């Protein structure tokens, strides 16, 4: 027995860890308490995750080997990217094997002629666009966390971002996915043909939150950079006026590339954080962007400005340079980071409501937060009604978490009552599981469970997520007692 073996008896005695180390390499399988603890959380406010061994594969073959070892030991598997998820989707339940895909971060092929790029799941969203921009293209989905979030996570949650209004969410920009199923089989879902034969299993997989397998390669569509872009910043005396402007713009037949709203508390935080040039005296600002051919862009910008003034805009500003435009967008995309200057913690929601109900639901959000004595900031994808209320708090304050979750629950119910849905891009994870029954019937959830079982009969892929208890075979895995050896 070597010195290393004598120094690490716990790992040596764990057959699961030993098999994983043989399948990969000992230095890419971690079973120490610190490594497991770091992988037991994501960016959400949800606790209770318990990680088993953490693996760092570098190839599809290694992911397949991990799945086969996990199957042999009857353990769940949780794929993980940057950990930026906000719904608890990456939190490991029941000490599963965590498959950290951050080392699979290569752009494998860029085919300009066919406008396709094959990338690995650990590629960072913004890094991909930076690589493509000099070639005249970009990756259209642009979540606010795009500086750190990965393509695998974007696929798992069908992420969107500000520009999904005109360009669509991730599903519209993925043509094929190489997937490792729970038993280690490698399959390709979708294809590069214009009309792939058979069922759209690619579409079923996207947004599956890792419950259907692990993506190891993704064929993304290259979106041409627009020839002209104009970005407007409209100021309002009320949040309702900004929301009404959004509805009026769409009713006029204009579909901007993006329409984002921020309320005064958010404006103040952003200005203190990055100095984007937002008017801190405004109750709300609407950031609108149009792109395309220059004559059309000019005409649409003028129409949006006029509609804004008709709906009470007190000021309309058009970015006069690319630098000014980038600064305005930097303010929007760092809004969540700016919260840290106000309070150390926040709970970010992700419901979607009809545009016609925006003003009404926003009024309820403010009322609910006030009743629970919680500060709230609103910043949201106004064009498609995707609300992102931030409940701001200090978790050290006694009883505040209970009030935050109670307020969050009421916000979800208010959105559903307005004809909305539970999530626009953050997913269900563990956050919205208890609310699935308010949106879906038992028959609906039964069919969702059947789809999951078709991909993974034992429900070992990201167990305990999405479907509520009693509606999924994943209950067995997520409620499995934690093996003694994970405590070291």
* CB 290, CB 299: distance < 8 Å: no
Q: How far is CA 414 from CA 68, 251, 405, 435, 445, in A?
A: 44, 24, 14, 12, 22
Q: How far is the C-alpha of 328 from the C-alpha of 269, rounded, in Å? A: 14
478: pLDDT strictly greater than 70: no
pLDDT of residue 481: 44
pTM over 0.85: yes
Residues of the chain with CATH 3.30.70.2190: 228-332
14-36 tens-digit pLDDT: 999 999 999 999 999 999 999 99
Query: From the CB of residue 420, how many other CB atoms can be counted at a distance below 10 Å?
Result: 21
CATH 3.30.465.10 fits 107-224, yes or no: yes
230-280 tens-digit pLDDT: 999 999 999 999 999 999 999 999 999 999 999 999 999 999 999 999 999
* Domain topology for 228-332: Alpha-Beta Plaits (3.30.70)
Q: Confidence class of residue 305 from pLDDT cuts 50, 70 and 90?
A: very high
420, 433, 424: which is closest to 464 by C-alpha? 433
Mean local confidence (pLDDT), 320-338 = 93
Residues of the chain with CATH 3.30.70.2740: 343-417
Give the distance, in angstroms, between the CA of residue 232 and the centroid of all CA atoms in the same chain: 26
Residue 110, strand partner residues = 117
* CB 369, CB 391: distance < 8 Å: yes
Q: How far is CA 144 from CA 11, 22, 49, 425, in A?
A: 39, 39, 25, 11
Residue 433 three-state SS: helix
pLDDT of residue 4: 38
Q: Confidence class of residue 458 from pLDDT cuts 50, 70 and 90?
A: very high
- The architecture in CATH of the region 343-417 reads 2-Layer Sandwich (3.30)
Burial (CB count <10 Å: 0-12, 13-18, 19+), residue 249? buried
106-153 tens-digit pLDDT: 999 999 999 999 999 999 999 999 999 999 999 999 998 999 999 999
3-state helix, strand, coil in the chain (%, to 5): 40, 20, 40
Residues of the chain with CATH 3.30.43.10: 3-102+483-487
CATH tag, 3-102+483-487: 3.30.43.10
The values of phi and psi at residue 55, to 5°, are: -115, 145
Which of these ranges, 85-99, 321-335, 465-479, has the smallest mean pLDDT?
Answer: 465-479
Residues of the chain with CATH 3.30.465.10: 107-224
């Amino acid at each position: 027995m070597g010195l290393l073996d004598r120094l690490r008896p716990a790992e040596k005695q764990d057959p699961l860890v030993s098999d994983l180390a043989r399948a990969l390499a000992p230095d890419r399988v971690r079973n120490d308490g610190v490594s497991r603890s770091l992988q037991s959380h994501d960016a959400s406010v949800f606790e209770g995750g318990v990680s088993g061994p953490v693996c760092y594969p570098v190839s599809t073959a290694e992911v397949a080997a991990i799945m086969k070892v996990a199957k042999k030991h009857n353990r769940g598997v949780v794929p993980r990217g940057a950990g930026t998820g906000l719904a608890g989707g990456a939190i490991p339940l029941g000490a599963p094997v965590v498959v950290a895909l951050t080392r699979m971060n290569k752009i494998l092929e860029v085919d300009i002629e066919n406008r396709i790029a094959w990338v690995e799941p650990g590629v960072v969203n913004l890094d991909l666009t930076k690589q493509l921009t000099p070639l005249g293209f970009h990756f259209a989905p642009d979540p606010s966390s795009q500086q750190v979030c990965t393509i695998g996570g974007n696929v798992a949650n069908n992420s969107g971002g500000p520009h999904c209004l005109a360009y669509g969410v991730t599903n519209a920009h993925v043509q094929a996915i190489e997937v490792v199923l729970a038993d280690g089989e490698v399959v390709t879902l979708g294809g590069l043909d214009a009309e792939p034969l058979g069922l759209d299993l690619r579409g079923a997989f996207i947004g599956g939150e890792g419950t259907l397998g692990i993506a190891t390669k993704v064929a993304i569509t290259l979106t041409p950079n627009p020839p002209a872009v104009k970005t407007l910043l409209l100021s309002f005396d009320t949040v309702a006026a900004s929301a009404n402007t959004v509805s009026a713009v769409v009713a006029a037949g204009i579909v901007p590339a993006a329409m984002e709203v921020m309320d005064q508390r958010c404006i103040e935080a952003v200005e203190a954080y990055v100095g984007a040039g937002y008017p801190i005296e405004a109750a709300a600002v609407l950031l609108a962007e149009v792109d395309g051919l220059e004559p059309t862009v000019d005409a649409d910008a003028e129409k949006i400005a006029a509609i804004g003034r008709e709906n009470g805009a007190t000021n309309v500003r058009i970015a006069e340079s690319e630098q000014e435009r980038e600064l305005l967008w930097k303010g929007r995309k760092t809004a969540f980071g700016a919260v840290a200057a106000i309070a150390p913690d926040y709970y970010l929601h992700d419901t979607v409501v009809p545009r016609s109900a925006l003003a009404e639901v926003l009024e309820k959000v403010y009322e609910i937060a006030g009743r629970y004595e919680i500060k709230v900031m609103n910043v949201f994808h106004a064009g498609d009604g995707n609300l992102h209320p931030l409940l701001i708090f200090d978790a050290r304050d006694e009883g505040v978490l209970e009030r935050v979750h109670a307020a969050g629950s009421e916000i979800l119910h208010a959105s559903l009552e307005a004809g909305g849905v539970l999530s626009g891009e953050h997913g269900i994870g563990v956050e919205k599981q208890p609310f699935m029954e308010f949106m879906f019937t038992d028959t609906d959830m039964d069919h969702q469970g059947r789809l999951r079982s078709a991909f993974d009969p034992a429900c070992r892929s990201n167990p305990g997520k999405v479907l509520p208890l009693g509606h999924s075979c994943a209950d067995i895995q997520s409620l499995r007692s934690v093996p003694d050896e994970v405590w070291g």
